């Protein structure tokens, strides 16, 4: 299946997002335990831009390389079926996207998205190195990495068989909006998977974990990153204020997922959450007509519809502007609109109708 092209006209860039406390001149803000955590796009993007060059080294060192094992366990939980693409949001430097690509069939296209350009540059360098190492013999598809806001993904709905995020959900300004976007672009019957830090349940481990996160990690992180320690003060604060376990599982259910399960790793230091997007009978029927990609016209559409649909890209919206309704004709007009909408739905086109 071809890679969906982002529709920049329909979705705002991440840098248009605003909100949260005003950042310091360096793009970060100091945090006290009683303050609400500043997760504004500007602050988070600048923070990751600053630590991007040493992000992987610090992650592996500070986690004693356990983060690699966590990603491996997360990949093992994916239910990959067929050759529909897989999307990894908040992909950062690309570790999870690459791990998924190396574990699935060569026909499956893996795609990464993140709103931090500096992190994506490292992800692309990793992918270039992986492609060179393969020497063209693996037959695997190259992973494209898109710069995109996870609260407004530039991809068509119902497109990906799996949508994943690792250690990035808590960094999205609006957690629920981010989850809803993941569910939107996931196909019916597909899977959404979240790998995230959580709170260990063993009392002694919880105390050691808290001490390490509050006092050790910020100082070591500052020393290794050679930067303002606020980035590594943000990490324990973001984990401490973020829901985990049953609380986060309920958020996945509220976003529209069913059969939500979660699996604790390393005595609860990290947790994998998995849920399925419900299969809608009508949507499934239309996917079958369209060959599964929501772009090809179905056989029973008119030649004019087929011609127009064939020129649309995934994620495009066809807009109609109608004249003002004549008083007393609303019922008939609405009936006509419903009839036309059903015809276009058979062509797998989403309509946006407005009156002038």
- Locate the domains of the chain by residue range: 14-279, 284-355
Q: Which residues are CB-contacts of 114 (< 8 A; sequence separation ≥ 6)? A: 89, 90, 91, 92, 120, 123, 145, 147, 148, 150, 168
pTM for the predicted model, two decimal places: 0.70
Residue 28: per-residue pLDDT: 34
The predicted structure's pLDDT at residue 6: 54
**Per-residue 3-state assignment (H helix, E strand, C coil) for 70-108:** HHHHHHHCCCCCCCCCEEEECCCCCHHHHHHHCCCCCCC
Residues near 196 by Cβ (< 8 Å), separated by ≥ 6? 165, 166, 167, 169, 170, 242, 244, 248, 270, 271, 273
Q: Are 41 and 18 in contact (CB under 8 A)?
A: yes
The CATH homologous superfamily of the domain defined by 14-279: Vaccinia Virus protein VP39 (3.40.50.150)
pLDDT in tens, the chain (356 residues): 545 555 443 333 333 333 333 333 333 334 444 457 888 999 999 999 998 998 898 888 778 899 999 999 999 999 999 999 999 999 999 999 999 999 998 899 999 999 999 999 999 999 999 888 765 556 678 999 999 999 999 999 999 999 999 999 999 999 999 999 999 999 999 999 999 999 898 888 888 988 888 888 777 777 776 665 567 778 778 888 999 999 999 999 999 999 999 999 999 999 999 999 999 744 444 444 333 333 333 334 444 444 444 444 444 555 444 334 444 444 444 444 444 554 444 444 444 444 33
Please enumerate, by residue number, every residue annotated as part of a binding site.
93, 114, 149-150
Q: Which residues are annotated as a binding site for S-adenosyl-L-methionine?
A: 93, 114, 149-150
Backbone CA torsion sign across 147, 149, 152, 156: positive
Nearest C-alpha neighbor of 62 from the set 219, 217, 230: 217
> Helices (DSSP H) in 290-329: which residue ranges?
303-310
pLDDT at residue number 201: 86
Pairing of strands 270-276, 86-89: unpaired
The reported pLDDT for the residue numbered 213 is 80
Q: Which of 209, 168, 208 is nearest to 55 (CA)?
A: 168
What local confidence, expressed as pLDDT, does residue 233 receive?
77
């Amino acid at each position: 299946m071809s890679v969906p092209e982002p529709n920049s006209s329909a979705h705002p860039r991440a840098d248009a997002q605003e909100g949260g406390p005003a950042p310091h001149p360096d793009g970060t803000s100091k945090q006290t335990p009683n303050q609400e955590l500043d997760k504004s796009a500007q602050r988070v993007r600048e923070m990751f831009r600053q630590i991007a060059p040493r992000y992987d080294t610090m992650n592996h060192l500070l986690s004693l390389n356990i983060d690699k094992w966590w990603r491996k366990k997360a990949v093992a939980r994916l239910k990959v079926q067929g050759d529909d693409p897989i999307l990894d949001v908040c992909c950062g430097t690309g570790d999870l996207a690459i791990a998924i690509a190396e574990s699935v069939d060569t026909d499956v296209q893996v795609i990464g998205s993140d709103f931090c350009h500096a992190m994506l540059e490292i992800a692309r360098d990793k992918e270039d190195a992986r492609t060179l190492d393969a020497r063209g013999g693996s037959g695997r598809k190259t992973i494209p990495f898109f710069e995109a806001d996870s609260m407004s993904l530039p991809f068509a709905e119902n497109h990906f068989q799996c949508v994943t995020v690792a250690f990035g959900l808590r960094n999205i300004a609006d957690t629920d909006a981010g989850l809803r976007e993941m569910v939107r672009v996931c196909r019916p019957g597909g899977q959404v998977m979240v790998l995230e830090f959580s709170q260990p349940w063993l009392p002694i481990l919880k105390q050691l974990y808290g001490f390490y996160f509050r006092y050790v990690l910020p100082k070591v992180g500052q020393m290794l990153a050679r930067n303002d320690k606020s980035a590594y003060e943000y990490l324990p604060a973001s984990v401490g204020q973020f829901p985990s376990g049953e609380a986060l599982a309920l958020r996945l259910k509220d976003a529209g997922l069913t059969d939500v399960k979660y699996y604790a790793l390393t005595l609860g230091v990290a947790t994998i959450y998995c849920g399925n997007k419900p299969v809608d009978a009508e949507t499934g029927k239309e996917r079958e007509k369209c060959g599964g990609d929501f772009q090809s016209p179905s056989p029973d559409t008119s030649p004019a519809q087929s011609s127009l649909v064939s020129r649309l890209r995934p994620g495009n919206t066809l807009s109609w502007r109608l004249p003002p309704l004549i008083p007393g004709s609303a019922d008939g007009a609405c009936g006509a609109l419903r009839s036309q909408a059903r015809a276009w739905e058979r062509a797998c086109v989403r309509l946006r109708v407005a009156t002038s």
